[in-house]
Structure formats: C-alpha cells, structure tokens
Amino acid sequence: MMTADQRLDQLEPLVSQTLAVADRHTVQLTQLVNIVTQQSSNIQFLLNELVDVKDKVVAIDTKVAAIDTKVAATDARVSAIDTKVTAIDTIVAAIDSKVAAIDTTVAAIDTRIAATDARISNIDTRIAATDARISNIDTRIAATDAKIDVLNTQAKVVDTKLDRILNLLGESK
C-alpha cells in the first residue's frame, strides 16, 4: 500500500500537468474570447451594414416599381404610336397609288404634248414657207406697184399730150 506521501507524489505531476493544460486552455479561451469579441464587433458592423443594404433594397424596389409603372405607360404610348404608324402606312400606301396614277396620267399628257409639239413644229415650218411665199408675193406686188407707177406716170404724160393734142385740135376748128 501506498503512503499518503507516495500518493501525493503520484498526484503532484498529474495535478501539475492538469494545471499546465488548464493554463494553456485558459490562454486559448482568452484568445478565443478576444477573437469572439472582435468577431462580435465585426458581426455587429455587418448587421448594421445589412440593415443599410435592406433599406437600400427597399428603396430600389420602390424605384423599380415606379420604373415598371413608367415602362407600362411607355409601352401603352408605344402601342398607340404603332397604331398611328400603321394608319399612316395605310394612308401613305393610298397616296403612293394615287401618285402612280398621276404618274401614268402625266406620262400620257407628256406623250400628247410631244405629239402637239411635233404638230406645232410642222405648222411652224408651213408658216415659214407661207411667210416666204408671202414675202415673194410682196416683192412681186412691189415690182408690180413700181410698174403701175411707171404706167401711171406714162399715162399722165400721154394724158397731158392728149390734152395738148385735143387742145390743138379744138383750137384749129
């Protein structure tokens, strides 16, 4: 059997070893408490930031809802504009048809104008020929007038001579 001193001698290294382990655990626990305290501050900071983020998300959600409303209104306006554009396209198509008809009419008028221009050109040629003939006739009339003037002058001379002859014959009686 062991004596009390022997038992104490056996227990002393175990207690010493247990105390050394407890001291190490105390140091580690102190380090863990410091880490947890630090992490608690970090977690508190993150929680505060998370609250800010949540507030910002709510504000963003509100803005997105407002944007969705505006987009819906814009979509309605675009739909109305599309309807108007379709109506305008129909009107433009009708105008295009009318313009095509007008183009056909203008082409026919151009053809008639070209034919009329040809007839006018022919008439101008005939008028020029007639003018030349009239000019020739005018020249001949002028020559005839000149001959008539000569004949008139000669007739006057003959009349004067006849008057003298008649006067002489009338005096001789």
**pLDDT tens digits along 110-151:** 999 999 999 999 999 999 999 999 999 999 999 999 999 999
Whose structure tokens read 């800010």? 52
Encode 29-52: b = buried (16+ Cβ within 10 Å), e = exposed.
eeeeeeeeeeeeeeeeeeeeeeee
Measured distance CA(83)–CA(62) in Å, rounded:
32
| Farthest CA pair distance, the chain | 232
What are the residue ranges of helices labelled H in the chain? 4-172
pLDDT at residue 169, as a whole number? 81
Measured distance CA(153)–CA(160) in Å, rounded:
10
- All residues at 6 or more sequence positions from 2 whose CB lies less than 8 Å from its CB, including other chains: 10
pLDDT at residue 173, as a whole number? 59
- All residues at 6 or more sequence positions from 10 whose CB lies less than 8 Å from its CB, including other chains: 2
- What's the half-sphere exposure (Cβ side, CA atoms, 13 Å) at 24? 5
Residue 1 scores a pLDDT above 80: no
Joined together, the tokens standing for residue 58 give: 């709510």
Among 17-26, 32-41, 50-59, 141-150, whose mean pLDDT is lowest? 32-41
pLDDT at residue 172, as a whole number? 66
Using the 8-state DSSP alphabet, how is residue 150 labeled?
Answer: H
